[in-house]
Chain A
Amino acid sequence: MKKDIMICGVGGQGTVLASKIIAASAMDAGFTVHSAETIGMAQRGGPVTSHVRIGDDAFSPLIPVGGADLLIAFEPSEAVRNLKYLKKDGFVIVNTVPVKPTSLGSSEGSNGKAEIEFVKSKCRCLTVNSDELCAPFGSSKFFNVAVLGTAAGSGELGLSKEIICDEIVKIVPERFREKNMAAFAAGYKLGEENNANQ
């Protein structure tokens, strides 16, 4: 398999954990993996990206523009910011819930609708609402694992449910395991439904 996956969002949304689980799962499935993260000052609420490159012919850690097979966007405007990295026939999974930049102060900022419409008009895309998806788990902090489920269920990730679940068990601290597994399952179901609808 050769697959370039980009994950984007805002610092603090838990994108790094998602990329770690994908990388570990792909390695378990026997592939060569390279990945790269945003670390440092930008982690404090800035735009963050993770690049996960599966396959033998990736030389560099960063996915080239127009190179990603799959873009998992944790935030609508971040999906737009990084859409240029997607292949023309690539697939986007995007969260519809916006994160308002603190710099906007007391103005309300975008509700994310225009961004989602734009993404939809440009590529194959599946929208996910993190608030709704994570409501049963009490916190949108579980979105990172839930959306992994969506990616797996949609068939776009190319990795089996079992392998990913094994990695979640290994990587996530025990006390959060149960909720993460449930979040993954909920996300998976959503992805599967989408897959069936296509």
Chain B
Amino acid sequence: MSKKYVMGNGAIALGALSAGVNLVAGYPGTPSSEIIETVVRYPHEGTYAEWSVNEKAAMEVAAAAAYCGARAMVTMKQVGLNVASDPLMSLAYVGVKGGMVVVSADDPGPISSQTEQDTRRFAEFARIPVFDPSSPEEAFEMVQDAFEYSEKYRTPVILRPTTRVDHAYASIEAPDTFHAREYGGFVKDSKKWVIFPRLSYMNHAMIEKRNTEIGEDFSSYRFNTVSGSSAKAIAATGVSYAYAAEFLKAYPDIRLIKVGTPYPLPESFLLNALEGVSEVLCFEELSPYIEESLLKLIGKHHLNISIRGKLTGDVPPSGENDADSAGRIISRFLGLEYAESSIDCSGAPQPPARPPVLCAGCPHRASFYAVKRAMKGKKAYFCGDIGCYTLGNAMPLDMVDTCLCMGAGITMAQGFNHMDKDAVAISFTGDSTFFASGISGVVNAVYNAADMILCILDNSTTAMTGHQPHPGTGRNLMAAPVEKVSIEKLLIAAGVTKVITVDPLDLDASTAAVKECAGIKGVKAVIFKSPCVAIVKPDKKMRTDSGKCVGCMRCIREIGCPALSVSGGKAVIDGNLCTGCGLCSQLCKFGAIGGAEE
């Protein structure tokens, strides 16, 4: 045993390893990605781990492990659970033998996500238990408890951390080496493992009855707690509890109810905790889940308690809570004076907006620019997708007209093609996204005789989430060299009429490839292949020649590389940022950019 300073995601990994997890699978997604990466970082024996091609695959791989009696964990971000919901909904009916924990990380804000969806709703929808940790320390313990409950009730269980728990660091006392548990193996029983309407009907009834029992069981769970005894109470969950607890340190009499297991609702615990309460403020993020649960509970028991929160406008409907909003909102509810003791910042110079940008030298910038050049003067729709390259929407590139969800770029470009034959329909898909959910879209487009150009932005990694390997990289999580799955061959096999692979940093060749594809009927593809500069550190940089630079600012206006800026009317390159990609030098008509130095 030793103390390890890890982020919440690391704590979840250590908890799972401590529980003897046999199999871990997942797909990267902020804020969940570091869980699996931590699992493989510590010495472990007998634990299999993989980056799956997407969340649905991960869920199914893990389900089989749980059928074998092994302990399995699946990790994803909240929108990943949408992808994995098909197996999860059925699995909830079938049940498991070995413990199975589904970690679905929510992202209030949202900070790095498309939606502010609430996984607690998903748990209720699927009728399976959910644990809601308020800190890394708690997440470490809860994931181990989750395995126990999963086995006790033979159901998959969800652990739902949020960004501020996933990415908060704390010291965790944990073993230094880990051993996976022994498991019995799969026992065939088609009445149990094959889902049929009759089985679902029977199990549905069983699940509803069982969930009442779990609610009772949860009522004595150690992470459902109450402190203080005031008639006005605060009910909080997840990290919002931590903010509330910190603020209420100065007011120990105020009743603070913490719900660590939002579903099935620990009714007896809550009825007890609400004894003598006249008013409750629900302080939570995302949806008013506890608030609505309490409304139901007081209705069911005819209690005269008023419930406040998001539905009453006391807590904002969207966005994340923080220590400051906890202080303000709770003070208002309790009728306390909330004195902001911070520096008066009125009259401060307005800090500039800093929207995120593609890195200096990012090959995506070059790919977008080549397509932009090739499509100049033409009507074209640019369908983006999920990854760093969503940032291609920013000025001056302005090359992402749509972004919906993983893989949608391809299918939406197809849809635009059917609706508007005069426009060129173009999709941008990263390599990892292509493997995750692009392939079926390509087949759909070919099958339905679409006319479109697939731009595959192949940077040999899953960049946005922290550079995980994928099927095209020749590496997997167990670090074994594996056969590379070829995007080019897949496209050809699917019937794509023309596939051209180019280096996006060669601007003329890239532009020509796009133009060529635009002139051919059917589904065509350009694979822009160049590694992410965050993993392959180039040791070159470019310089501007102030004698030759005429100050036309074309380089800056056209591509928006963060290494380029203006000083004294001339373009200058920040040597700390420049990777020497050479895109700007191919743009300069005066030969003022060059001199790549080692």
Interface residues of A (CB under 8 A from B): 10-12, 23-24, 27, 32-47, 57-67, 77-78, 80-81, 83-88, 100-110, 114-115, 118, 122-123, 139-141
Q: How far is the CA of A140 from the CA of B5 in the complex (A)?
A: 28
Q: Which residues of A contact B577 (CB under 8 A)?
A: 12
Q: Which residues of A contact B239 (CB under 8 A)?
A: 60-61
Q: How far is the CA of A32 from the CA of B136 in the complex (A)?
A: 14
- Do A35 and B168 touch (CB < 8 A)? yes
Q: How far is the CA of A36 from the CA of B111 in the complex (A)?
A: 14
Say yes or no for B97: interface residue by CB 8 A criterion.
Answer: no
- Do A80 and B351 touch (CB < 8 A)? yes
Q: How far is the CA of A101 from the CA of B565 in the complex (A)?
A: 10
Q: Which of B343, B353, B464 meets A86, CB within 8 Å?
A: B343
- Do B322 and A100 touch (CB < 8 A)? no
- Do B169 and A35 touch (CB < 8 A)? yes
Closest residue on chain A to residue B571 by CB atoms:
A106
Q: Which residues of A contact B171 (CB under 8 A)?
A: 27, 32-33
Given A64-B327, A83-B343, are A34 and B169 also a contact pair (CB < 8 Å)? yes
Q: Which residues of B contact A86 (CB under 8 A)?
A: 342-343
Say yes or no for B557: interface residue by CB 8 A criterion.
Answer: yes
- Do A33 and B5 touch (CB < 8 A)? yes
Given A118-B348, A140-B576, are A61 and B168 also a contact pair (CB < 8 Å)? yes
Say yes or no for B429: interface residue by CB 8 A criterion.
Answer: no
Given A45-B354, A86-B343, A105-B557, are A64 and B246 also a contact pair (CB < 8 Å)? yes
Q: How far is the CA of A83 from the CA of B342 in the complex (A)?
A: 8
Say yes or no for B357: interface residue by CB 8 A criterion.
Answer: yes
Given A27-B171, A36-B168, A104-B352, are A66 and B341 also a contact pair (CB < 8 Å)? yes
Given A39-B30, A64-B246, A115-B349, are A123 and B343 also a contact pair (CB < 8 Å)? yes
- Do B323 and A60 touch (CB < 8 A)? yes
Contact residues of B between 329 and 360, Cβ < 8 Å to A: 340-345, 347-349, 351-359
**Min CB distance, B586 to chain A, in Å?**
19
Given A42-B356, A46-B355, A77-B351, are A60 and B243 also a contact pair (CB < 8 Å)? yes
Q: How far is the CA of A66 from the CA of B285 in the complex (A)?
A: 23
- Do B5 and A84 touch (CB < 8 A)? no
Given A102-B357, A103-B394, A108-B567, are A84 and B560 also a contact pair (CB < 8 Å)? no
Given A39-B31, A118-B348, are A88 and B167 also a contact pair (CB < 8 Å)? no
Say yes or no for B112: interface residue by CB 8 A criterion.
Answer: yes
Q: Which residues of A contact B358 (CB under 8 A)?
A: 44
Q: How far is the CA of A38 from the CA of B394 in the complex (A)?
A: 21
Contact residues of B between 534 and 567, Cβ < 8 Å to A: 553, 556-557, 560-562, 565-567
Say yes or no for B401: interface residue by CB 8 A criterion.
Answer: no
Given A44-B356, A59-B245, A80-B351, 10 extra CB contacts under 8 A = A23-B5, A33-B169, A39-B30, A40-B111, A45-B355, A59-B242, A60-B164, A60-B239, A64-B324, A66-B341
Q: How far is the CA of A23 from the CA of B135 in the complex (A)?
A: 17
Given A88-B342, A108-B566, are A118 and B349 also a contact pair (CB < 8 Å)? yes
Say yes or no for B249: interface residue by CB 8 A criterion.
Answer: yes
Say yes or no for B388: interface residue by CB 8 A criterion.
Answer: yes
Given A43-B356, A47-B354, are A77 and B349 also a contact pair (CB < 8 Å)? yes
Q: Which residues of B contact A42 (CB under 8 A)?
A: 111-112, 356
Q: Which residues of B contact A10 (CB under 8 A)?
A: 354
Q: Which of A32, A63, A103, A139 meets B323, CB within 8 Å?
A: A63
Closest residue on chain A to residue B563 by CB atoms:
A102
Q: Which of B340, B354, B556 meets A105, CB within 8 Å?
A: B556
Q: Which residues of B contact A102 (CB under 8 A)?
A: 357, 560-562
- Do B342 and A58 touch (CB < 8 A)? no
- Do A40 and B348 touch (CB < 8 A)? no
- Do B249 and A57 touch (CB < 8 A)? yes
Interface size on B, residues (CB 8 A): 63
Closest residue on chain B to residue A40 by CB atoms:
B112
**Min CB distance, B254 to chain A, in Å?**
14
**Min CB distance, B297 to chain A, in Å?**
27
Q: How far is the CA of A56 from the CA of B508 in the complex (A)?
A: 60
Closest residue on chain B to residue A26 by CB atoms:
B5
- Do A60 and B348 touch (CB < 8 A)? no
- Do A67 and B323 touch (CB < 8 A)? yes
Q: Which residues of A contact B395 (CB under 8 A)?
A: 103, 105
- Do A36 and B169 touch (CB < 8 A)? yes
Q: Which residues of B contact A63 (CB under 8 A)?
A: 323
Given A66-B340, A100-B565, are A61 and B164 also a contact pair (CB < 8 Å)? yes
Provide 13 A-B residue pairs closer than 8 Å at the C-beta atoms, listed in order of the A residue.
A12-B359, A37-B7, A39-B30, A42-B111, A44-B356, A46-B355, A65-B342, A101-B352, A101-B354, A103-B394, A106-B553, A108-B566, A118-B347
Say yes or no for B170: interface residue by CB 8 A criterion.
Answer: yes
Closest residue on chain B to residue A47 by CB atoms:
B354
Q: How far is the CA of A108 from the CA of B575 in the complex (A)?
A: 18
Q: Which residues of B contact A78 (CB under 8 A)?
A: 351
- Do B343 and A103 touch (CB < 8 A)? no
Say yes or no for B257: interface residue by CB 8 A criterion.
Answer: no
Query: Chain B 354-389, CB within 8 Å of chain A: the 1/0 string?
Result: 111111000000000000000000000000000010
Say yes or no for B276: interface residue by CB 8 A criterion.
Answer: no
Say yes or no for B391: interface residue by CB 8 A criterion.
Answer: yes
- Do A65 and B324 touch (CB < 8 A)? yes
Q: Which residues of A contact B567 (CB under 8 A)?
A: 108
Q: Which residues of B contact A38 (CB under 8 A)?
A: 111
Q: Which residues of A contact B5 (CB under 8 A)?
A: 23-24, 27, 33
- Do A46 and B342 touch (CB < 8 A)? no
Query: Chain B 245-277, CB within 8 Å of chain A: the 1/0 string?
Result: 111010000000000000000000000000000
Given A35-B169, A41-B30, A80-B348, are A66 and B464 also a contact pair (CB < 8 Å)? no
Say yes or no for B228: interface residue by CB 8 A criterion.
Answer: no
Closest residue on chain B to residue A84 by CB atoms:
B342
Closest residue on chain B to residue A24 by CB atoms:
B5
- Do B324 and A103 touch (CB < 8 A)? no
Q: How far is the CA of A50 from the CA of B322 in the complex (A)?
A: 14
- Do B576 and A139 touch (CB < 8 A)? yes
Q: Which of A36, A45, A65, A141 meets B167, CB within 8 Å?
A: A36
- Do B323 and A62 touch (CB < 8 A)? yes
Say yes or no for B591: interface residue by CB 8 A criterion.
Answer: no
Q: Which residues of A contact B349 (CB under 8 A)?
A: 77, 80, 110, 114-115, 118
Q: How far is the CA of A39 from the CA of B183 in the complex (A)?
A: 37
Q: How far is the CA of A64 from the CA of B242 in the complex (A)?
A: 12
Q: Which residues of A contact B169 (CB under 8 A)?
A: 23, 33-37, 61
Say yes or no for B43: interface residue by CB 8 A criterion.
Answer: no
Say yes or no for B185: interface residue by CB 8 A criterion.
Answer: no
